[in-house]
Structure 1
Amino acid sequence: MTLVETGLLASLLISLIALVFALISLRRVRQQARETEKLIHKLMRDVAASSSGSVGMGQRLLAMEKRLQSDVKKTEKIDYYNDDEFQPYSQAAQMFKMGMDCDEVARRCGLSRAEASLLEMMQKSSR
């Protein structure tokens, strides 16, 4: 065997090894492409479900807002300051305006700590 033949044989062997590596790489790339496609379809389903849920929630919020607006019109006729049922809350609002703390207002008006805290937050946000 001559030097040229040996060189050709070595080139052929290197080419075959490169071809095997290329085929293995091609198979991995195809597998990754299939997995990526599955993930894309899953994400698309998740986004569609999330969007439909958001639309449904938006519709519920709009309906709730309409109900609240109609309730506000009905409640505008009620005099909260002279109604016995709402008296502790109006007293608490006045106490918060005077600068009393939440625990003191709750104790004096007979409200729970959570009610007094909520009234305090409402009072602060209305300022």
Structure 2
Amino acid sequence: MTVLEIGLSASAIVSVIALVIAVLSLKHVRRQADANEKLIQKLMREVAASSSGSVGMGQRLLAMEKRLQANAAKQPEKIDYYNDDEFQPYSQAAQMFKMGMDCDEVARRCGLSRAEASLLEMMQKSSH
């Protein structure tokens, strides 16, 4: 075997090794891209759920504000938040936060969205 044949053989072996490494790297990158895509989809679902919870909370707040304005125009009376069915989940949530429960548990037990429970938790912490 001549030097030229040895060089060509070595070059062919190095090329095959480089090709195998490139194919393995491509497969790894594709797996990472798939994992990233799944993560992006999960985050998008979570953002959509959070947004819908925020919208629901905003609608409830607007309804309460209208109700308060209508009641204030009639006569100044004190609203019993603890016995009013519309406010009951919120007063229950406030009590649960005082007892040290976490946001997810309060949301589940009171039938509130995660965003509502989180907002109530922040309001509870800021008032203390």
Pairwise CA distance, 1:72: 1.5
Q: Distance in 2 between matches of 1:75 and 1:40?
A: 52
Pairwise CA distance, 1:70: 1.2
Q: Distance in 2 between matches of 1:71 and 1:29?
A: 62
Deviations 1:92-125 (A, max 9, x none): xxxxxxxxxxxxxxxxxxxxxxxxxxxxxxxxxx
Larger gyration radius, structure 1 or structure 2: 1
Residue 64 of structure 1 aligns with an amino acid whose one-letter code is: M
TM-score, with length taken from structure 1: 0.58
Aligned to 1:66: 66
Aligned to 1:33: 33
Deviations 1:68-109 (A, max 9, x none): 111211235x7xxxxxxxxxxxxxxxxxxxxxxxxxxxxxxx
Q: How many residues align?
A: 78
Structure 2: where are the runs of 5+ without partners? 78-128
Q: Distance in 2 between matches of 1:68 and 1:16?
A: 77
Q: Distance in 2 between matches of 1:75 and 1:13?
A: 92
Q: Distance in 2 between matches of 1:36 and 1:59?
A: 34
Residue 5 of structure 2 aligns with an amino acid whose one-letter code is: E
Indicate yes or no: 2:83 matched with 1:49: no
Q: Distance in 2 between matches of 1:23 and 1:44?
A: 31
Q: Distance in 2 between matches of 1:75 and 1:30?
A: 67
Aligned-pair identity (%) = 66
TM-score, with length taken from structure 2: 0.57
Aligned to 1:5: 5
Aligned to 1:84: none
Structure 1: where are the runs of 5+ without partners? 79-127
Pairwise CA distance, 1:13: 0.6
Q: Distance in 2 between matches of 1:32 and 1:52?
A: 30
SS at match of 2:25: helix
Higher RCO, 1 vs 2 (CA within 8 Å, ≥6 residues apart): 2
SS at match of 1:36: helix
